[in-house]
Amino acid sequence: MLRNTAASRHGWAGVALRQRGPNPFAVGASVVVDAGPAAGRLFRVRTDGSYLSASDPRVIVGLGGYSGAVSATITWPDGATTRCALEAGRYHVCTR
């Protein structure tokens, strides 16, 4: 077993999207963050990785040393948009 004991000063925020219907994890949606080093960067919700594998559908945004308020604009697979407030250092569930 390996254990990471290194201290990190880099912030992050995670977003898990949920919606009703046949695509509950909103695969195909996009998340755009409005502040910090990731401002304006587009993150896609996806589960593909390589042949016969799957990945975590959550989006993880690196915030570096930024500690201010962060919000994200979510564009759902059908084109509708929602804003979601994010707090550094934790995962958030944004439900449609």
pLDDT digits (tens, 9 = 90+) for 14-49: 999 999 999 999 999 999 998 778 888 999 999 987
Per the prediction, the chain carries an average pLDDT of 90
State pTM to two decimals.
0.83
Q: Quickly state the pLDDT bin for 82 (edges 50, 70, 90).
A: very high
On whether the CB atoms of residues 84 and 71 are closer than 8 A, the answer is: yes
Q: Is the pLDDT of residue 74 over 90?
A: yes
